Structure 1
């Protein structure tokens, strides 16, 4: 069922917090007023550096303009060898790339920011940049490296009085544990963070922590605690109009109600999540909400509805770009560590023999590069596995909706052209007395009963190489021979019909359903046209006189009997014993020859 489905994609909650951390205190009005001073161009020295830092920090409406100010700040700071402002410039630049999803460039900027703060022993800067580096590695699911940097970040920030940054780092640290399924460790970090946030009345931090704690409880199956914490978080965030985390938390509320088997409420939460994500352009969450909706409809057996949601999830996920980012991010860390060791070796060369330390440096460099390559290959293999699993699941969903040849055409061309098949065999069935029986059932019991029969029918069709086309109420439609090898599958369809009939008879005596139906089956063979109908929630269908006659064979059949047309009879008469019924009148068709399969 739905509540057992696993999340197929890594969801970052704490990283909304990097935006909160960075945006705390930002003000576009300040940027607008400072831009007037900037245009006058009458400042220099520290005043000019301060102006550029504040402009880059406060510019919210135009990220590209913020990056321009950051680059100008870096250039001027390097000319004046002012490392604290070099740190600020690269930090702003790193946040720009982080928020745009370019983790490789973000890491390069964060490492340079950290290097500058190290040169002047700027403790707060060191802590903030180590935290930003850790956040970047968590995005690429490099949890071991991320934990190293989080621990360094906390060690530096604890030496300051910066409670907001400490709370931010703790919540991101907890989020790394959460996504690595270390739930107890995640709870420990979230609870430390929320204590700090409540002490300083930091509502945004409190809301994120409550929501994240609720997510942990949801993963642990503690639904009452989960629902309570998530609802408190949503209440706070709605007042602050912070919709990104709300969109994530709503998917967890959906999980909770799905476990309660309240599927209508669960679906409502998922649809609300997707609508919020689309309204505010939250691409990551558009992907996640589409995935969850796909899983929901798949768990209910509605594959035709599930597939478009899954397709949208893949579009927004953009796994290929993520793979490149994972590879490059591994290179960034290797290059940064190598540059640090080279600098250390250079200082030590002043007092020690050049040849000895050069040899040590080269050996260390080789080992470090080998380790970096090992890490990178490990990430590539893991990401390739994710891609393969996503592709396999997508193909499986598509093949549950369409015949194999048609599914391949849809993947190759993005559309399916209607095709004429010269000879196929079509089956229709329905249950005698179903309408009267259904009147005494609840909707849930009715769906359960129908599902019991149709699930077995699907398996029967699969065993005989036939295709289910659709179901309408208690009617079931299938076809054989949707290929160009001139095999109409008439024999296989008769065998499948006999199995269906036997199953219905047997079901009268089993404990799975109280139904006592008889089934009527009609079969006809001839040409049809097949194709995909519609664009959204598309359906594969067949049309033609052959289909209409098959339907008439079913309506003129008798309970427990298989009624076939003369066209089908001619193809199977040497394999099955049949009884000629004569020419019976059929609505809108005149008199048609019919046969019962014995």
Structure 2
């Protein structure tokens, strides 16, 4: 960003810049009204940049507003452009992207009024960077391309690289490669070695994904050579890691180990713990391929410990997968199951984080559109004011046309905003019950509530640990997911609420957050259909000579407390003795059947749709003797 503004000031100056000694001298030039406006603008811009922008952004914004006012008072557009741009940068430094966007759009409008190619290029590039940071890749790409179109002769190597990254994120490797090559060509011509090495590395990554390993290695090697020449240690470590992955993909494990050890050494020297965790996980994965399970455990355990310390879910996921495979290969079934369950929990957290990120991106995109509309409306208002003074005779005709277009535009905008709002609400409803989500949106919080009659349903797979030891991590997770997806559909059919999954256990509740008179019956019907699904699935899997789960289900009805837990990765949960008793119903049940408590039986015993089988009193851990019944549908 700093390079862009300095280029802008030099291009827009009407006179050459004079060398400034310190902040005091810069401020003196700004105060000297005998100096040309261009010199005063340049001096004050440097004063704000060097003295306040990165240390006191609040003060920088106030000073930049003074520069804008100076430009307005003197009808000097270049000062307004510099002031709005500096204000935008001040809000970037405070991570307020909405205000950043607002000021960058004002700068763009001034650049359009100036009709200056360099100013337009910088304004569009700044807008592209904001949209890029907030994940709106379509808007980012649009503004980057407009920047190139406005002034293709500027130093745009970084912009080409940014455009390439967008196409790569979208999976368009051909387009990404095209812009990475343009970036490389420009950076070579301009002598930017760091950017040149980055472009070479990105090209190597594209060829690696396309499995053109010879070309990939050539570009990585050229990138590594430049990083070594300029002594960029992070670049060196990253490239070592990329080459290690390249050799791993080709099955050349010894070479892969050598490069990952090199990257590990540099990352450790730099104190880059994220890089250290990455290298350790890569080494552990190769150790697994070579059958060196002890070394795999050592490397991946170190990677796991570091990922916990730096709170990196991505690194933790790789470590857990490696530790599961290593412990499984060594016959440590309990530890293998522990890391498998931890892996599933990490993946759930990543999915929740991604959902939250999407919600934030949708909110930003909606707000960005509103800001854009507000500025466009301001521009239209100014244009109408100017036109009134020149074309008074056709004022009413223009006004009527403007009102019609505005009405049509607002109607279309509202429809578009409604679509985005509906999408955001659907994402929220995937996390919380509808009643709770509505309360959270209206009040900003959801109070815990007591319910007198809730049926808690628990499921659990029999011999899960033993069966899981016979499957790969991917197969095991896929099998569990297959069952839980079916359960999700069943509970939605019967209108009961999914609470959570705990490893291979599934928990749901009937009668909350909105109580109903038939919730007990619907919960039992859902449980019976779950068992029916598991039985049919087992028959299909056995016909294919594959492993299949068998399941116990238990239900108990009684009072609970329900509410949202925490403020991060929040979750709707339930508490109370009813939950514990329902868990005992499941653990003392039998495969293929639905086990219910005395309370649940008493509520359903007169229902002609069910048959009941008394089991008598059974001793349950922590509960003493409990009366239990098997329930089934009458045929």
| Alpha-carbon distance change, 558 to 79 in structure 1, aligned in 2, over 3 angstroms | closer
| Alpha-carbon distance change, 178 to 332 in structure 1, aligned in 2, over 3 angstroms | farther
CA distance in 2, matches of 1:572, 1:107: 65
Q: 1:391 aligns with which of 424, 433, 441?
A: 424
CA distance in 2, matches of 1:360, 1:176: 50
| Alpha-carbon distance change, 235 to 502 in structure 1, aligned in 2, over 3 angstroms | farther
CA distance in 2, matches of 1:334, 1:209: 42
Contact 2:8 2:119 in 1 (8 A): no
What's the CA shift string for 1:12-64, capped at 9, x where partnerless?
xxxxxx5542256999xx87714246349895534785254134136244136
- Residue 482 of structure 1 aligns to a residue in which SS? coil
Q: 1:35 aligns with which of 10, 20, 24?
A: 24
Q: Which residue of 1 aligns with 2:376?
A: 330
Q: Which residue of 1 aligns with 2:80?
A: 90
CA distance in 2, matches of 1:379, 1:241: 48
CA distance in 2, matches of 1:273, 1:588: 36
- Residue 560 of structure 1 aligns to a residue in which SS? coil
CA distance in 2, matches of 1:470, 1:41: 63
What's the CA shift string for 1:258-306, capped at 9, x where partnerless?
xxx99x99xx8x987999xxxxxxxxxxxxxxxxxxxxx9x99965664
| Displacement of 1:560 | 2.4
Q: Which moved more, 1:94-103 or 1:71-80?
A: 71-80
| Displacement of 1:199 | 0.9
CA distance in 2, matches of 1:476, 1:195: 56
| Alpha-carbon distance change, 477 to 335 in structure 1, aligned in 2, over 3 angstroms | closer
| RMSD between aligned residues | 5.6
Q: Which residue of 1 aligns with 2:294?
A: none
- Residue 564 of structure 2 aligns to a residue in which SS? strand
Q: Which residue of 1 aligns with 2:574?
A: 542
Q: Which residue of 2 aligns with 1:520?
A: 552
What's the CA shift string for 1:106-164, capped at 9, x where partnerless?
44445546656x7xxxxxxx22123245447767849889967754534xxx5xxxx53
- Residue 407 of structure 1 aligns to a residue in which SS? helix
| Displacement of 1:194 | 3.7
Residue 128 in structure 1 maps to residue 174 in structure 2: no
Q: Which has the higher contact order (CA 8 A, sep 6+)?
A: 1
CA distance in 2, matches of 1:496, 1:369: 58
CA distance in 2, matches of 1:304, 1:167: 37
Q: 2:621 aligns with which of 587, 590, 593?
A: 587
| Displacement of 1:391 | 1.9
Q: Which residue of 2 aligns with 1:197?
A: 187
Q: Which residue of 1 aligns with 2:326?
A: none
Contact 2:30 2:41 in 1 (8 A): no
| Alpha-carbon distance change, 330 to 480 in structure 1, aligned in 2, over 3 angstroms | same
Q: Which residue of 1 aligns with 2:611?
A: 577
Give me the TM-score of the superposition, normalised by structure 2.
0.61
| Alpha-carbon distance change, 314 to 435 in structure 1, aligned in 2, over 3 angstroms | closer
Contact 2:72 2:80 in 1 (8 A): no
| Displacement of 1:510 | 1.6
Q: Which moved more, 1:474-483 or 1:47-56?
A: 47-56
- Residue 405 of structure 1 aligns to a residue in which SS? helix
- Residue 582 of structure 2 aligns to a residue in which SS? helix
| Alpha-carbon distance change, 559 to 61 in structure 1, aligned in 2, over 3 angstroms | same
Contact 2:67 2:83 in 1 (8 A): no
Residues matched between the structures, number: 503
Contact 2:111 2:120 in 1 (8 A): no
CA distance in 1, matches of 2:375, 2:233: 34
What's the CA shift string for 1:409-449, capped at 9, x where partnerless?
33333333332211122222323333322233333332222
CA distance in 2, matches of 1:361, 1:185: 49
| Alpha-carbon distance change, 589 to 19 in structure 1, aligned in 2, over 3 angstroms | same
- Gapped regions of structure 1 (runs ≥ 5): 1-17, 119-125, 243-249, 276-296, 347-357
Residue 490 in structure 1 maps to residue 520 in structure 2: yes
Contact 2:459 2:506 in 1 (8 A): yes
Q: Which moved more, 1:106-115 or 1:368-377?
A: 368-377
Residue 454 in structure 1 maps to residue 454 in structure 2: no
| Alpha-carbon distance change, 193 to 378 in structure 1, aligned in 2, over 3 angstroms | farther
Contact 2:560 2:579 in 1 (8 A): yes
